[in-house]
């Protein structure tokens, strides 16, 4: 049996899914999209039940990737039963989606979650009356305390029913639906979708278009607006019949502070900086432990062993790749997702997005993009993975470009270890300033040239809650497992490939070929090209490789301060590390990964060339 969990964002659907399936879940990417689907299995009466956690949506006739995906899966009859999870404290808004699901004539169980919060707000819901009105069983739950969660699967498997409620649409809509059903033989729901231009039947869409134009001329408004108005009215009528109010004192509590520009924005900055510092320091500490362990127990013994040179190179490349993945990306990714899960489960994520939404509009983005942008300072890998929460493909594309330019902690190692130490603190800070300006300019340009729909942000601000430790750990594990499965294999293959290039002398050839450009355009010594190439594997390896090739840790003995500044600037802007490229490929596709790689290479070389030209024009520097 297959059960699909469907509902609005922030209704506790994922927590219910976690209760039902535990941590034995699978993450799959739906073909043709960047949307991930979580699925797991529960056992009921010795029979397996497959449960799928569908992306949170507000409507089945929307235009986002998530809405199209869920609609297609429902239309395809993917699930035997749909469990519609609703927020009992905001029933009217949630009923809109339930009414749409009922139109698809599939067995449904309605779960009114957050019953405890509804009661605190003075709302009492008559589930018997609601069940009688819509024709499907209704269950009150409170996922945060586990109330009635165990009853969901038995009710869904034994008592789920096809709804009997029909939204009373405008008479012109009803007449149009009857006409389309009679002429084209389409179902009621297919006819309603066709009137909105949704569907695959060309003949039905053509007929519906003609009728829709007549309706729009009669009503002076688009058909989707008419349908939405009718559904909202029906939801309001149902709520009026099933919800009883008791007087409670209205209190906004912390939201009086968190949602106001002051002190909301300073609080947001403090929380984001705290998250960033936590990701940086915890990740750095774990990185040092893991890297030291690899050096002590694997790399040093390997270097001391008398092995065939080719075997040594292959083993070294393999070990250094594992060290890079587990020592650099893993601590930052896992720490990031632990903190991100806490922020999401408390409900504060929506408040952050609300506060910065207006500013982000200038860059073609919405407020949700601020989280991955800031956390990219810790590591670009989890930041790229976090853009899934951003609404449209256009916005995710812009965010991916900008995030890869954010100086992560590994790039900070280059800036601090080379520029701050050998050139000066102000010079190091100037690199951050240059990068910040380039991000702003790139965002403004991308917002103008990137095609696609830019939607307004309709954001529900959920109540503040205490996060569930089990849910936080579950989410973090799901995402880190995905990183280990997707990014690590590509990292290993790339490391071995670079190792073989060095073993067979191809890197020497590359140095010889790139020498005119490195020296003439960037003003760098030829061996800098090899350091930049190794920086693709791990950003701070550009620094480490430069020291090895220079033959001394005192880099000012072999390079001028200007050369060190240019090298740090180029390597910071240069193509992202292989882990980031792998995640870009996974999240955005090969085309976007190649576009970003080419853009950052061009950006890095252009910035370095301009600095070199400026120093030539100003000999006193």
Tokens 């510092």 label which residue? 277
Does residue 508 have a known ligand-binding role? no
What pLDDT digit, counting tens, does each position of 272-305 carry? 778 767 776 787 688 778 878 888 899 889 988 8
Per-residue confidence at 72, pLDDT binned at 50, 70, 90? very high
Helices (H) and strands (E) in the chain, counts: 29, 10
**For residue 365, what pLDDT is reported?**
65
- The verdict on whether residue 359 carries a ligand-binding annotation is no
**Per-residue pLDDT, 363:** 64
Query: Is position 572 annotated in a ligand binding site?
Result: no
Comparing 276-285, 498-507, 516-525, 560-569, the range with the smallest average pLDDT is 276-285
Write out pLDDT tens, residues 429-479: 898 899 989 988 888 888 888 776 555 444 556 677 788 787 788 777 776
Residue 113 annotated as binding?
A: yes
Is position 78 annotated in a ligand binding site? no
Q: For residue 455, say whether it is annotated as part of any ligand binding site.
A: no
Give the confidence band of 359 by pLDDT, cuts at 50, 70, 90: low
Binding residue per annotation — 56?
yes
Q: How far apart are CA 340 and CA 273, in angstroms?
A: 13
The dihedrals phi and psi of 577, each to the nearest 5 degrees, come to -65, 165
Phi, psi of 146 (to 5 degrees): 75, 15
Is the model's pLDDT at 113 over the cut of 50?
Answer: yes
Is the Cβ–Cβ distance between 36 and 483 less than 8 Å? no
Write the CB contacts of 474 (distance below 8 Å, at least 6 apart in sequence): 18, 23
Rg, the chain, Cα only? 28
Q: Which residues contact 296 (CB under 8 A, 6 or more apart)?
A: none
Mean pLDDT confidence for 159-182: 93
Phi, psi of 418 (to 5 degrees): -105, -60
Is position 201 annotated in a ligand binding site? no
523 is in an annotated binding site: no
Does the annotation list 35 as a binding residue? Answer: yes
* 121 assigned to a ligand binding site: no
- Band of residue 28 on the pLDDT scale cut at 50, 70, 90: very low
Distances (CA, A) of 170 to 70, 99, 173, 273: 26, 16, 5, 52
The C-alpha atoms of residue 214 and residue 222 are separated, in whole angstroms, by 10
Binding site annotation covers 248? no
- Per the listing, tokens 């870009």 go with 584
Mean pLDDT within 325-339:
73
Q: Is 8 annotated as a binding residue?
A: yes
Q: What is the pTM of this model?
A: 0.62
Residue 33, pLDDT > 50, answer no
Residue 52 assigned ligand-binding role: no
Q: Please indicate if the annotation marks 453 as binding a ligand.
A: no
């Amino acid at each position: 049996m297959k059960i699909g969990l469907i509902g609005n964002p922030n209704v506790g659907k994922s927590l219910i899914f976690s209760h039902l399936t535990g941590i034995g879940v699978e993450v799959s990417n739906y073909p043709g999209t960047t949307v991930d689907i979580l699925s797991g299995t529960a056992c009921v009466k010795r029979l397996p039940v497959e449960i799928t956690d569908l992306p949170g949506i507000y409507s089945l006739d929307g235009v986002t990737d998530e809405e199209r995906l869920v609609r297609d899966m429902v239309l395809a009859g993917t699930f035997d039963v749909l469990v519609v999870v609703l927020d009992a404290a905001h029933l009217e808004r949630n009923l809109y989606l339930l009414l749409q699901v009922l139109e698809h004539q599939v067995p449904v169980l309605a779960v009114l979650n957050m019953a405890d919060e509804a009661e605190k707000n003075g709302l009492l819901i008559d589930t018997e009356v609601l069940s009688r009105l819509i024709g499907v069983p209704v269950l009150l739950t409170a996922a945060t305390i586990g109330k009635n969660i165990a009853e969901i699967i038995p009710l869904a498997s034994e008592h789920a029913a096809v709804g009997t409620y029909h939204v009373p649409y405008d008479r012109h809509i009803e007449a149009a639906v009857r006409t389309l059903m009679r002429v084209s033989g389409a179902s009621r729901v297919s006819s309603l979708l066709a009137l909105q231009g949704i569907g695959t039947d060309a003949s039905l869409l053509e007929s519906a278009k003609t009728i829709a134009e007549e309706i729009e001329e009669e009503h002076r408004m688009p058909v989707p607006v008419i349908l939405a108005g009718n559904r909202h009215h029906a939801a309001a009528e149902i709520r009026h019949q099933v919800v009883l109010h008791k007087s409670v004192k209205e209190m906004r509590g912390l939201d009086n502070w968190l949602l106001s520009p002051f002190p909301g924005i300073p609080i947001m900055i403090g929380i984001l900086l705290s998250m960033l510092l936590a990701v940086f320091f915890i990740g750095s500490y774990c990185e040092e432990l893991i890297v030291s362990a690899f050096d002590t127990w694997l790399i040093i013994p390997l270097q001391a062993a008398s092995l065939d040179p080719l075997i040594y190179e292959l083993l070294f490349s393999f070990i250094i790749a594992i060290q890079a993945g587990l020592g650099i990306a893993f601590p930052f990714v896992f720490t990031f997702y632990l903190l991100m899960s806490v922020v999401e489960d408390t409900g504060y994520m929506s408040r952050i997005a609300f506060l910065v939404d207006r500013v982000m509009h200038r860059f073609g983005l919405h407020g949700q993009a601020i989280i991955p942008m800031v956390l990219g300072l810790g590591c670009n890998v989890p930041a790229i993975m976090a853009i899934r929460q951003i609404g449209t493909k256009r916005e995710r594309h812009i965010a991916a470009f900008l995030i890869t330019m954010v100086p992560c902690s590994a790039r900070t190692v280059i800036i601090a270890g080379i520029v701050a130490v050998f050139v000066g603190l102000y010079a190091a800070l100037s690199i951050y300033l240059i990068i910040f300006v380039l991000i702003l300019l790139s965002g403004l340009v991308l917002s103008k040239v990137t095609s696609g729909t830019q939607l307004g942000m309709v954001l529900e601000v959920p109540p503040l809650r205490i996060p569930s430790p089990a849910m936080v750990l579950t989410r973090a594990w799901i995402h880190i497992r995905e990183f280990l499965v997707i990014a690590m294999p590509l990292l290993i293959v790339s490391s071995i490939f670079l190792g073989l290039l060095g073993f067979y002398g191809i890197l020497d050839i590359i140095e010889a070929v790139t020498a005119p450009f490195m020296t003439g355009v960037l003003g760098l010594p030829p061996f800098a090209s090899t350091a930049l190439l190794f920086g693709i594997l791990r950003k701070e390896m550009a620094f480490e490789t430069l020291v090895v090739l220079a033959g001394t840790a005192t880099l000012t003995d072999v390079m001028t301060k200007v050369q060190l500044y240019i090298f740090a600037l180029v390597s910071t802007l240069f193509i992202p590390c292989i882990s980031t490229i792998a995640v870009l490929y996974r999240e955005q596709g090969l085309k976007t990964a190649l576009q970003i790689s080419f853009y950052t290479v061009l950006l890095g070389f252009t910035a370095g060339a301009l600095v070199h030209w400026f120093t030539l024009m100003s000999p006193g520097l």
